[in-house]
Amino acid sequence: MHQDEELHAELLKKFREYFEANQEWLGRGTKVSAIKLRRIMSEIRTLLSRRRVLVREWTDQKEEQLKARNQKRKATKGSNAN
């Protein structure tokens, strides 16, 4: 499995855990259930930060590829015009 897919799967798992912990906290309202909920939210925040970096890296790569393709097209146009 690709690293990005693994991270996405991990995020989905944590969101399910979050939903369950949130339901528990809403039902019980105990200090322990609140601590568990906050811990899971912190874990989600960490995973989302990692995901954000991967998305940014992917975007940068795509922009570089587009820039290189456009430069190649300009070079081809310039040599065909002569």
pLDDT attached to residue 79: 75
Count the domains in the chain: 1
pLDDT attached to residue 81: 63
pLDDT-based confidence at residue 76 (cuts at 50, 70, 90): confident
Determine the distance from the C-alpha atom of residue 60 to the mean position of all C-alpha atoms in its chain, rounded to a whole number: 14
Give domain status of residue 60, yes or no.
yes
Give domain status of residue 82, yes or no.
no
The whole model's pTM is what?
0.76
Give domain status of residue 32, yes or no.
yes
The DSSP secondary structure of 41-79, one letter per residue, reads HHHHHHHHHHHHHHHHHHHHHHHHHHHHHHHHHHHHHHH
Give domain status of residue 2, yes or no.
no
Contacts with 54 (C-beta within 8 Å, 6 or more apart), sequence order? 3, 4, 7
pLDDT digits (tens, 9 = 90+) for 33-68: 999 999 999 999 999 999 999 999 999 999 999 999
Give domain status of residue 1, yes or no.
no
Within 10 A of 11 (CB to CB), how many other CB atoms are there? 16
Range of the domain at 50: 7-77
